[in-house]
């Protein structure tokens, strides 16, 4: 039996224990936040984005004069950006668009993502189509509205490596072109 006038351990040390528990729980929460938001090689973490459901849109508008509209024909120089996935590293006939690769990605153990930028006369732009859905694999832009031509960064060779994905960007006489990027399984 304990004497009634002697304080128990909880009463005597209770406030110190509560403060210590609060300090420990704050440290644990900070560690959990650091673990839950791993940063990538480029310093971008998941917390940089508000939500997976958010849509990021960049709109560029320019007034086209009547004279420019009158001069539009097949001889104008335009930019075409091709983007597709292919299962082989060579010039395969199987080219799959982004929408279809979501459906059939489990069929392939290794895929290559190809982005190609071409500047030519409108008539000389070759059409490429998805082997699954026959949808377009390219977008054409006026050269002054092309996202690659108007980008601020134009270097000779840029090698970006993140984990096992390598993407080589080359700028030639006809503009920028992204060579193959492999996504090993």
DSSP structure string for the chain? ---TTSPPHHHHHHHHHHHHHHHHHHHHHHHHHHHHS---TTS--GGGSS-TT---------PPPHHHHHT-STTSEEEEEEEEEESSSS--S--B-HHHHHHHGGG-SEEEEEEEEEEEEGGGPPP-B-TTT--B-EEEEEGGG-TTTT-S---SEEEEEETTEEEEEEEETTEEEEEEEEEE-
Q: Where are the domains of the chain?
A: 76-152
Dist CA 155 CA 148 (whole Å): 12
Token pair for residue 24? 């420990």
Mean pLDDT value across residues 104-132: 84
The confidence band for 155, taking pLDDT boundaries of 50, 70 and 90, is very low
pLDDT tens per residue, range 168-184:
444 444 444 444 444 44
d(CA 148, CA 55): 21
Query: Against a cut of 0.75, is the pTM above it?
Result: no
Return the percentage of the chain with pLDDT > 70, whole number. 47
pLDDT at 106 > cutoff 60: yes
| Position 165 confidence tier, pLDDT thresholds 50, 70, 90 | very low
pLDDT value for 56: 61
Please give the residue that has the higher pLDDT: either 9 or 109.
109
pLDDT digits (tens, 9 = 90+) for 26-66: 555 555 555 444 444 444 455 555 555 666 666 667 787 88
Q: Residue 114: its pLDDT value, please?
A: 86
Q: Which of 27-31, 106-110, 127-131 shows the lowest per-residue confidence on average (mean pLDDT)?
A: 27-31
At 65-76, the pLDDT tens digits run 888 777 777 788
């Amino acid at each position: 039996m304990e004497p009634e006038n002697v304080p128990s351990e909880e009463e005597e040390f209770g406030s110190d224990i509560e403060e210590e528990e609060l300090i420990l729980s704050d440290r644990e929460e900070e560690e959990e936040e650091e673990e839950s938001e791993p940063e990538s090689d480029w310093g971008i973490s998941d917390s940089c984005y508000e939500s997976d459901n958010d849509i990021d849109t960049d709109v560029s508008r320019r007034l086209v004069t009547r004279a420019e509209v009158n001069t539009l024909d097949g001889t104008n120089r335009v930019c075409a950006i091709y983007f597709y996935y292919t299962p082989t590293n060579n010039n395969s006939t199987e080219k799959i668009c982004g929408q279809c690769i979501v459906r059939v990605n489990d069929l392939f153990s290794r895929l290559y993502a190809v982005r190609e930028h071409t500047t030519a006369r409108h008539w000389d732009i070759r059409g490429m189509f998805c082997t699954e859905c026959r949808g377009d694999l390219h977008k054409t832009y006026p050269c002054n509205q092309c996202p690659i031509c108007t980008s601020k960064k134009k270097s000779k060779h840029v090698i970006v490596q993140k984990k096992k994905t390598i993407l080589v960007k080359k700028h030639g006489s006809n503009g920028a072109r992204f060579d193959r990027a492999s996504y090993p399984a």
